[in-house]
Amino acid sequence: MTGYKPREISKVLNEALENMPVVVLSGMRQAGKSTLLLNQPELHNRRYMTFDDFGVLEAARRNPEELIAGEEPLTIDEAQKYPELLNVIKREVDKKRTPGRFLLSGSANFLLLKKVAESLAGRAVYLTLHPFTRREIQGVTKEIPAIVYFLEKGVFPNRNVKPISWQEIMKGGMPSVCLKEVKNPSIWFRGYEQTYLERDIRTLSQVADLISFRHLLQLVALRNTKVLNISELARDAKLNVVTTSRYLSLMETSFILSRMPPYLGNRSSRLIKSPKIYLSDTGLASYLAGIKSLDLNETNRGTFLENYVAQNLEGVFSAHYPDAKVTYWNIQGRYEVDFIIEIGSETIAIEVKNSSRWQERDLSGIKAYLGSSKRCRAAILAYNGNDVVKLENKISAVPISMLLS
């Protein structure tokens, strides 16, 4: 690594530590959690330990009270490997609720682990570290994100941005790949997949048939950005619906995929009410789907572009508008909008188009949504062009590179 690149979430993390006794930072394996914990300047005064160190993990199992006693504040990395420790932390916090006492990190979603969520209820705030955003890769996190600038000022900033290449999208946001620490991303992702299956999944749950789990993972990658149909997915994976649902929950708990809920703010019997599934990183998605290049593969470009926008928006909003909800809107067989961003009582509609130009039909979804929702403040057609263009009242065409800058 050529030097530490600050993350979008740093400010929110610092604020959380100033207000809550326990802060939980989760995210997919190898997304940069440990690097952040060891390199963010504001965290240098903390005692650090990791359960990746077998000796530390054994010490926790023998005497967890003794392990966490002593110098504070304390950071515990890979905390999900010994969830029983959280009951000890709960008792400690109940004795003294000093803000910032414990910073826990792990590659499992603690909120989806029922026992963990119950033990820290009312004592912890939960944050997610997503794969690198384009802004983080380019080292421009000191600039206000363009979408945040738009929300606050009503216009997009005047800044020079580089067009997004298909190679960027194929690399995704895993630090080892997008920061060019490895020469061959395919080899790295193969090792990542093996570690994920053999360590993470077996730690989270007793999955006897890893071959079936891996097959389902590949099928999910091929259905990336699509509305989830569990019955159809189970049939293709040759699994029953119960097992398929459990495996999907494990993928979600380990941050490999996310389920984007539909926007149900306006009433319609034709609204699709199932979530869409998104792989958390386009680099991993391309590896699992067996796609080597998007330069000549126009069939999959739209899917990966939408996925790339989704992972960048999630990274930016989780850091700058933690309470924002990213959803989608679909009236079955008629209209669809890729993203509806819910912020308080208002929404922003974003439709992604893999084109340097647009036609009237490209606006049909966002126009339909605008007509059905009084809450919609603005609609954005994100396209592969160069200029921000005001199209109609509330509708603008915005380069994707600007949207993600």
Whole-number pLDDT of residue 44: 92
CA–CA distance from 26 to each of 13, 32, 78, 99, 104 (Å)?
A: 12, 10, 9, 19, 8
Pure H helices in 290-385: 301-320, 364-372
Cα(35)–Cα(9) distance, integer angstroms: 13
Cα(348)–Cα(367) distance, integer angstroms: 12
CB atoms within 10 A of CB 2: 7
Contact predicate 372/342, CB 8 Å = no
CA atoms within 13 A on the CB side of 42: 14
- Which domains are seen in the chain, by residue range? 10-129 (3.40.50.300), 135-403 (no CATH)
Cβ neighbours of residue 336 closer than 8 Å, sequence gap 6 or more: 328, 329, 330, 365
Q: Give the DSSP per-residue string, 76-105.
A: EETGGG-TTHHHHHHHHHHH---TTSEEEE
Please state the separation of Cα 190 from the chain's center in Å: 21
User: Model confidence over 30-56: pLDDT tens digits?
Assistant: 999 999 999 999 999 999 999 999 999
pLDDT, tens digit only, all 405 positions of the chain: 458 899 999 999 999 999 999 999 999 999 999 999 999 999 999 999 999 999 999 999 999 999 998 888 999 999 888 888 888 999 999 999 999 999 999 887 665 555 665 678 788 999 999 999 999 999 999 999 999 999 999 999 999 999 999 999 999 999 999 998 888 999 999 999 998 887 778 777 777 788 899 999 999 999 999 999 999 999 999 999 999 999 999 999 889 999 999 998 765 555 678 999 999 999 999 999 998 887 766 778 999 999 999 999 999 999 999 999 999 999 877 899 999 999 999 999 999 999 999 888 999 999 999 998 889 999 999 999 999 999 988 999 999 999 999
* Amino acid letter, 25: L
Structure tokens at 368: 């339909």
Structure tokens at 291: 């796609």
Sign of CA dihedral 356, 362, 365, 367: positive
In 3-state terms, what secondary structure has residue 391? strand
